[in-house]
Structure 1
Amino acid sequence: MSVPSITELSLLKALWRQQPLSAREIHQQVEAELGWSYSSTRKTLERMLEKGMVNQHLVHGVQVYQAVLEKVDTLAAFARDFGKRVMEMDTPLPVTMFTGSKLVDEQELTQLEQLLQNWPDDADESQQ
């Protein structure tokens, strides 16, 4: 799984909270955080559509988006990437760093911990 960029993650988080959403509705949710124009939100959604991160369909005459990427899987990949590339860690990040997050509930936290603990070795990843 490719790890979303920070801006792509912001749009995904809006969709994980509520979906489907139109581009305008997504923009309204991320505008303050990202500080960019509506056209930038649209362009990012187009790239995410090309990458298979979101899908798009028509509802009552309006194009809406839904996240294709699962929240827990995506967060695990993001955390793994951060631990490895940024923190230069070979072991999984402790799940306690996610405690208190507004993004995941207890069940998702348990799933996240399992994913991080059972992450495939780098040798396995390179053979895929």
Structure 2
Amino acid sequence: MADPAAPSDAELDVLKCFWRDGALSAREVQDRIRDRLDWSPSTTRTVLERMRAKGLLSRREVHGVVVYASAQPKVAVIGGLMKRLSDLLDLDGPLPAAAFSGSQILDAEDIAALEAVLAADEATSDGEGA
């Protein structure tokens, strides 16, 4: 069964906005996703609140404007997705994070951190079966 806190594809599109630009208002998110997701402003606000309930976003008020931000580090979210894909494919080891070196949202530091997360997860998985 899927992890209820795992982001959906649409939620990943929204998270990428935060990973690229930092904290954003619902209107700013709406402006950034308009071309990819044909959502009304009220749908965008609803999705942002659902993502907050899932622990994917945080919310605060800045000068009277509600602003959201990613509550999970992008490396942790992407590492979780890679682990799910690896499990789905019944791979013997983790997917190599270096495969994402052409990513527009992961820099070299992120890829190194992702490799460390995946290696630590692999070491933990190996230890569980012992």
In percent, how many aligned pairs have the same letter?
A: 37
Which ranges in structure 2 are unaligned for 5 or more consecutive residues?
Answer: none
Equivalent in 111, 114, 119 of residue 113 of structure 2: 111
In 2, Cα distance between equivalents of 1:53 and 1:18 = 16
On the 8 A contact 1:15/1:67 being kept in 2, the answer is yes
Equivalent in 27, 42, 48 of residue 24 of structure 1: 27
> TM-score scaled to structure 1, two decimals?
0.86
1:1-128 matches, cutoff 5 A: 2-85=5-88, 87-119=89-121, 120-121=124-125, 124=128
Deviation at 1:5, TM superposition (A): 1.2
Determine helix, strand or coil for the equivalent of 2:35. helix
Determine helix, strand or coil for the equivalent of 1:34. coil
Q: Which runs of 4+ in 1 moved over 6 A?
A: none
Determine helix, strand or coil for the equivalent of 1:88. coil
In 1, Cα distance between equivalents of 2:55 and 2:100 = 26
Q: How many residues align?
A: 123
Which ranges in structure 1 are unaligned for 5 or more consecutive residues?
Answer: none
> TM-score scaled to structure 2, two decimals?
0.84
Q: Which amino acid aligns with 2:114?
A: L
In 1, Cα distance between equivalents of 2:101 and 2:68 = 29
Name the Cα RMSD after superposition.
1.9
